Structure 1
């Protein structure tokens, strides 16, 4: 399955987890990676919309790889949705470019899994935090796949990061892991 991984992290240089996951995705067959901040800095108006739309059109599955940023998308990822998933292309009259494609969120969180539970500090699960992304995907006719969440990612040691990487390889369907 041709997969497009859209990476966004406002502080990429400081992120061991997102860096490791991006490198893992880049090593897989049939996976294209586009890091929004590497391409456009933090300029939310700088998107090459046509190039981004072509990348999406070439994929069957879109994966958003990002840290939960104050219980939300990163600023660049939100701007990406605003600019790239445009009326007439993604939705509205004749807007069917995303219809039938799959969307999956792969997220890191500095907090523990317990924090993201009904009993935890925010009294919300990761699925609940990602509800706006799910709603956006369904609105444009995509299939929303269950998210893959990596908790306690801030300061994770090498063994933990290796586990994250292995889970991402499995999720993206690396052939050797399916055998």
Structure 2
């Protein structure tokens, strides 16, 4: 969760206008003194879309765990013999321009304009080997980011790395460059 929150903070600090729009939506849903809860999840489409777009841009895993084909099969038009090691490259899937128009652009509205795109964002995997903690992680992301933005203004301290600057691009887990932030309580 810490790595995901670092990516979220990096995105929020590089895209202030997006976070301002999220905060405005949150204030409309909860009121100025309110607290975001899971009951509000369906009432916060822009927050949900922003989280999906952060996950699309900042998938923390470079690839799934390697699997071995259990039978001769075909994947994407290629023959894959039984016992072949295969893996999906998530960064390629999540930046496919045949699925996501202008994939390099950070645009949460794409998920509001076309909700079917959500099924293509798979940071927790798919099927029987999907992350067992997916529902909990999604709930935590919604509550943590939403309540953080309701209560605090997030500002960079010093120079911010680009949200595209990633350490360990080819390892198992992506990590952002180091940076510092300041949280100021919103009255």
Output the TM-score relative to the length of structure 1: 0.28
Give the TM-score taking structure 2 as reference length: 0.27
Structure possessing the higher relative contact order (Cα contacts under 8 Å, 6 or more residues apart): 2
Structure of larger gyration radius: 2
| Structure ranking higher in helix proportion | 2
